[in-house]
Amino acid sequence: MIMVSARSTGWRSATSLILALVASLVLSLASGTVWANPRYAGIVVDAETNEILYAENADEPRYPASLTKMMTLYMLFEALESGSKTMTTPLAVSSHAASMPATKLWLKSGQSIPVEKAIEAMVVRSANDVAVVVGESLGGTESQFASMMTRKAQELGMRNTTFRNASGLPDDGQRTTARDMAILSMHLIRDFPQYYHYFALTEFTWKGTRHTGHNRLLKNYPGTDGLKTGFIRASGFNVATSSVHSGKRMVAVVMGGYTAASRDEQMMSVLDRGFMRASLLNGRGFLADTNFSGGELMESSHGFQPATPSRQIQVASVSSTAPATSAYSAAATTRAPANTAVQPSRVERVVQPATSTSSYASTTPSYSSSASYASASGSSSTYGSSARYSSSSASSTSSVGGSSGSSAASDPLRQLIDRPSVASTSPPASTYSTPTAGRSVAVASAAPATTQSQPSVQSQGQGDWGVQVGAFSNADHARVQASEAAEKISSQMANARVSVARADSTGVYRARVVDLQENQARSACQSLQQQGMDCMVVQASL
C-alpha cells in the first residue's frame, strides 16, 4: 500500500509538472512571446524628412535574394539615360542566361528580349534568366557585371553590400543589409523618377502569355506603389516597399520573413507605425518640440518627386493654417483602386501635447522586437514630374539620370551611410496580446529608462475628451496601441475606456482612450509621453 501511494503521488506530481509546463507554454504563446527570428532585419525611412523612423538589425549582413534585381535595374536605367540602350534595344539571350533556374521567363539561347520587356519581367516575374541577360548585355559576362554592381553600390553609399550575380540566386558571397537596400530604394526613386512607375506593375504580357507578380502589398496596403520582393531559402522572405499617405512617402525594407504572408504583415505593421509617428511629428505640429532618439537618413530636407507623364501621383495638400487631423490618407494614383484614397471624416480639435522623448516598435508574432523609432522633422514636399533631388548642402542640382553617378561623399544619404545603427540602443521588447484576434504586437521603447515620477491624474466623471495614440489601417494594431495606452494610465484613471473607431469609410482606425475630462486628457497624454508613447489630446465630440 505504501508503494502504491508513492507511485500515485509520483504520478500526480509528474502530471502536475506536465500540466504546468503546458500552461506556461500556452500562456507564453497567448501573450505573443516568441523566439527571435535570427534572419529578421528591417528599416523604415521618411523619404520626405529624411529620417529613420524604425531600424532593427539594419546593419546586420543578410542575403538580398531578388532585391538584387533592383541594382540590376538601376544599372539598366543608367544605360537608358546614357543613351547606350533604348526601350526597344534587343538584348541577346545566351546559353548561360537560358540555364538559370526559376523563377524565369523560359527564354531560349539565341532569342532576344527588348529592354522594356526585360524591365517588366524583372519587376513583375522576378525572372532570373532575364536578369542575367541584362547583366551580360551591360557587363559582357555576369561576373563582370556583378563587379560593376558592387562598385556602383559603394558609389551610392551601400558600404556593406557585395554582389556576385545579377539575379540574387544563392551565393554565399552575396550580402547586403536592410540599410543598404533602403539606400538603393531611395536612389531608384530619386535618381530615376521617370522609370519608377515600373515598380508598380502587377502584370505584363510576353509572347501572348500574361504573367502576374508576387508583390501583394501593391494591392493590400493602400498607397503602395513599389518596389520589389525576394526569396531564397538562405534569406527568407524579403521586400522593399515605398508607400504614400497624405503626401508623406515612406521607404521600408523587411528581410528574413518566415513566410510571404508574415513578411507582408510585418511590413504593413512597421509602415503603420511609421506613418502614425510621422503624422504626429510632421508639419501638422502635434509634437513640434519633441526631441527623439535616432538619426536622420540624410542631410537634405528636400523631398523627391517621383512621377512619369503616364502616372502622376496625386497628393492631398495640407495647409499649415488648417486644423490638424488625426488620420492620414492614402495618395490616390491612376493605377490604384478607387477606394484606396483615405480622407479624414471630420476635423478634430487637437491640443499640443507636452514635450517628450519617445521610441517604440511594432512587430507581428513572427518577429522579435528590439527596435528604435526616431523623429521626423517638419518639412514639406510636392510629388510630381521632376528631375533628381538636390542636397541642402549642394551648390547645384544634378541632371536627370544616373550616368554621371553620385558619390557617397556628396550624397544626401550620407548621414544614413555614416551613422551607427539606432537599433543597438534598444532594450528588450515588452509584449502585448491582441484581445480579439489572438495575435500580438511587441512594443519596445528605445528611450532610456528613468525614474521620473508620473503626473497625478485624478479620477473624475465621464467626459467628452480623449487621448489619441495613433491612426492605423489595421484595427488590431489600433486596438493594441489603445489598450497599451489604457494600461499605462489605468492606475491613475478608473474611468478611461479604450475606443477603436473606424473613420467612416476611410479605412483607418483611430486608437484612443476616451471618456475623459479635458484636464484628465491633458494629464494622461503627459503621463503617456513620460512612459515613451506619443499621443495627442482630442475633443471627441467635435
Q: Answer yes or no: are the C-beta atoms of 175 and 162 closer than 8 Å.
A: yes
Taking a C-beta distance cutoff of 8 angstroms, is the pair 502, 508 a contact?
yes
Q: H helices within 121-169, ranges in order?
A: 128-139, 142-156
66 is catalytic: yes
Contact between 427 and 449 (Cβ < 8 Å) = yes
Q: Residue 136's CB: how many other CB atoms inside 10 A?
A: 21
379 Cβ neighbours under 8 A, 6+ residues apart = 48, 49, 282, 283, 301, 303
Q: Mark whether 117 is an active-site residue.
A: no
Catalytic residue (one of 104, 117, 126, 369): 126
Nearest 5°: phi and psi at 119?
-60, -50
Q: Which three cell numbers stand for residue 196?
A: 519608377
- β-strands 430-433, 440-443 pairing: antiparallel
User: What's the angle, vertex CA 41, arms to CA 37 and CA 42, rounded to 5?
Assistant: 130
Termini Cα distance of the chain: 77
How far is residue 171's CA from residue 68's CA, in Å, rounded to a whole number? 12
Give the integer Cα–Cα distance in Å for 479 and 496: 14
Neighbours of 88 (CB within 10 A): 9
Annotated binding-site residue? 248: no
What distance in Å separates the CA atoms of residue 82 and residue 42, rounded to the nearest whole number? Answer: 34
DSSP letter assigned to residue 15: H
CA distances (Å), origin 235, targets 63, 127, 167, 399: 5, 18, 14, 36
* Distance (Å, whole) CA 135 – CA 120: 15
Which parts are annotated binding residues for substrate? 228
Which positions are annotated as active-site residues? 66, 69, 126
Annotated binding site: 228
